[in-house]
Amino acid sequence: MVQKFGEIEIHLVNIQGNLDLLNPAHVAPWFTSAEMQFWEAISAEKRQREFAAVRYLLCSQGLKGGLFYEDEVPKLTNGTHISISHSHDWIGVAYCNAHPIGMDLEFIQEKVARVYEKYVHENERELFPKTDLQKATLLWSFKETVYKLMRQPGLLFSEDICVFQDAVGQFVARVSAETGIFEVPLGHQLIEQYVLTFNAGDVQKQA
């Protein structure tokens, strides 16, 4: 499945029950030799599926062997911005040439209500009520997206990131970081029982 949002392209694959992702002969064409050795050493089948699915999505874009990590942040050797997320049965890889990208996938479940107080900003309660699991999950996912995008350790979800709607209904995150105040335009889509979120444009530093 491919979702396109302007300059952003998000590729998704469902890994539920996909035994091919556990078959060495099937996954080998997607891996470099080093990735194959790493995959074979993974003990958990779900983690093996996730690792293989990401490489499958990359390989489908001609990016075999192009993924590396710098300070735990995924990057591509061709310079395209990338973000990776997985939740339960879905894996997503987002690409963007225009600006850095953050993307998150979240399964809608009761868990978000239990941890609601840990991530909600006081000004978000009306827009994202705890009793509405879809909206509460959307808020959590927005903040995960912003955190991945900003790459500034120490940001507190309940204090430093506040999501609101602007005059035209666009979701926007206002981020208070050590380096200043920033705003991030946000996009989202519902896919089955999942929420997909991403930054719909580049980060804007406020005066």
Compute the distance between CA of residue 199 and CA of residue 187 in angstroms, rounded to an integer: 6
Band of residue 195 on the pLDDT scale cut at 50, 70, 90: very high
> 124 phi and psi, to 5 degrees?
-105, -10
Identify the CA nearest to 120 among candidates 168, 164, 171, 151: 164
Q: What is the DSSP string of 57-75?
A: HHHHTT-TT-EEEETTEEE
pLDDT, tens digit, 9 for 90 and up, residues 140-188: 999 999 999 998 888 999 999 999 999 999 999 999 998 899 999 999 9
List domains and CATH numbers for the chain: 2-96 (3.90.470.20), 103-205 (3.90.470.20)
Residue pair 18/11 in contact by the 8 Å Cβ criterion: no
25 pLDDT band (50/70/90 cuts)? very high
DSSP state of 123: G
Q: CA separation (Å) from 170 to 46, 89, 122, 144? A: 36, 29, 19, 18
